Structure 1
């Protein structure tokens, strides 16, 4: 498959029309054959950070030598600084997959959740406000976060989490284990002390996969998760992520893929995902004005039928504009 690059664009919330497009991570940059799994974050300084997986040895496949990398923009995504490695464990003789970056800003620092070989959840908290300095070793939070120390698969997000009034961090995670009968479940991981300790909400969403939580206009939290087919699963919490409703299916969205959902204005949620049955192509945008109960297709971001357009990440800029980064390539992207 053609290696993916990560491209960013700025669009108007009402029209979903790209105003500018720029490549942020280019395949081959700094020795990485592919960049995938983007996650945008507004830093305390006002700059925008883009976290991603830098895949070095197996092209765009999901495993092998994978590091978490970052670039920062000081001008709302128009230009981007140099690539920096946040964390990795691989070397020429041992390859470790460090991936699924899910960052938030809490307590004046960047709190970054990620996975090691999709078997453990790790957390790193930056040593400074803007994520330029990081400790050398992460903390394994798998057991307190999931209630099991031996998931057979786990992924954080993608693409990221939120921080509620009062400081609670909420990050979607999905996993399977002996405790789940080997089936996928999705739930919200929460921390009330700036990322030092973690737990997960009750009522995990059955069959839920990669997803994101957003604060809905009606005061609830809404979880929007990938499912195995062309549907999405939606679940709501009215107690800050402690318990969740039985999931509702949103059918025929697009081929199975990660998407991104954010609070985009005082009354609206925004969602990005591929649309239709043509595989990971035709990246599109939807808006909900009723806290996720229904969704209006706004338009297509990248409708070129031959071009791979897959995982995406949204970021609120202001009441009329949001930013989007997505995986963009040629005929395909590889990986899951």
Structure 2
């Protein structure tokens, strides 16, 4: 593919951060591309001192401004950015915070206090992402007692045509019986909903299948032209393939059916992203396409609301992992993704993809 269409807003080991992970991207009402990710200060680990960092582009992702911290938690963790641009132009940033010492393993085993564990916060910007409000905690409204691990998206959230804000998310349940240190990881899915532009929040659907067949993990969402919400998730289980999906007919409050395997998408165990285009009417999916490794970043297309998929745009054969998608303008889709020549985590790269390459 055309390397001239790519730029690199984040490169590991630069600008005060050992690693950059977990990309999310939106385009503001002013047309500014906002690329978010986790800036991991000391290492590539999922815990530690982590900020949510941001770069802005005024030319469609060709060049980038200075790095800024959109959300920080002192020397603790602020991560899993889930940004969404509201109809009003306000940009919401939903994310999680935890103590730097709270490892995923310790959280899963119930060895971390509620105060130090994964908690949910929201900030906003009313000036095109230049400055951000003080964070507001919403944990009591969107995390049930007993839940252990908790993650928003990764990737962008969305505002439905009704005005409702939907943030896909996942959590884990404690094991049944005695915790002997070898518990099964019971991944489960839910979403956060707001009907007042992020002022108040509540839980939508719950999918808490603990039979080991489909365990909902990192989830992405899009609103289809018929008003249904499509959810696509990473599936860490023996089900066919490593993806599962579901639909909601009531704006995310409930699912029509529980998540089921989506074996039409060959993929490794990894996060992915979806985006609904209005013109043309296509549902896009981005993620690595090598079923055995995080490599071969590819955009797939569905013309039937996620029932079937075809490969439309293989980027290259390099290592690649997490990604997100946005509509830059009428002719261009933006793909923000983790990649590198020898490691999927060397850079977070932005690629401008012509819409006519997807149709």
Shorter chain as denominator, the TM-score bin is 0.7 to 0.9
Would the aligned equivalents of 1:265 and 1:320 in 2 still touch at CA under 8 Å?
Answer: no
Deviation at 1:73, TM superposition (A): 0.4
Candidates 266, 270, 274, aligned match of 1:261: 274
Quote the offset at 1:27 in angstroms.
Answer: 1.5
Following superposition, the deviation at residue 324 of structure 1 comes to 0.3
Identify which of structures 1 and 2 has the higher relative contact order when contacts are C-alpha pairs closer than 8 Å and 6+ apart: 1
Match of 1:97 in 2: 77
Alignment of 1:198-277 (within 5 A): 198-204=201-207, 206=209, 207-229=215-237, 230-244=241-255, 245-251=257-263, 253-266=266-279, 267-277=281-291
Q: 2:313 matched to 1:302? A: no
Question: Which consecutive residues of structure 2, in runs of 5 or more, have no partner in the other structure?
Answer: 99-116, 177-183, 210-214, 346-359
Match of 1:131 in 2: 129
SS in 1 for 2:141: helix
Contact 1:265 1:318 in 2 (8 A): no
Q: CA deviation at 1:85?
A: 0.8
Choose the corresponding residue for 1:34, options 16, 19, 29: 19
Q: Which moved more, 1:97-106 or 1:323-332?
A: 323-332
The Cα shift of 1:18 comes to 6.3
TM-score, scaled relative to structure 2: 0.80
How far apart are 1:205 and its partner, in Å? 5.9
1:8 corresponding residue in structure 2:
none
Output one character per residue of 1:56-87: Cα deviation in whole Å (capped at 9) or x when no partner.
Answer: 112x2211110000000001100110000112
RMSD: 2.2
Q: 1:209: Cα distance to partner?
A: 0.7
Q: CA separation of 1:129/1:149 partners in 2, compared to 1, >3 Å: closer, same or farther?
A: farther
- CA deviation after TM superposition for structure 1 residue 247, in Å: 1.7
The 2-side partners of 1:309 and 1:272 are apart by 11
Report the alpha carbon displacement of residue 149 of structure 1 after superposing the two structures with TM.
Answer: 4.3
Partner of 2:30: 45
Gaps of 5+ in 1: 1-15
Deviation, 1:46, is 1.2
TM-score by length of 1: 0.86
Contact 2:189 2:217 (C-alpha < 8 Å) held by counterparts: yes
Matches of 1:331 and 1:191, distance apart in 2? 41
Tell me how far apart the structure 1 counterparts of residues 313 and 208 of structure 2 sit (CA, whole Å).
Answer: 29
Q: What is the Cα deviation at residue 284 of structure 1?
A: 1.1
Partner of 1:322: 333
Q: 1:26 to 1:272 in 2, by over 3 A?
A: same
Q: 1:37: Cα distance to partner?
A: 0.6
1:109 to 90, 98, 110: 90
Q: Which residue of 2 aligns with 1:82?
A: 66
Correspondence for 1:177: 173
- Give the distance between the partners of 1:274 and 1:193, measured in 2 at CA: 36
Q: Identify the match of residue 294 of structure 2 among 255, 276, 280.
A: 280
* 2-structure distance, mates of 1:28, 1:183: 34
Q: CA separation in 2, counterparts of 1:17 and 1:290?
A: 29
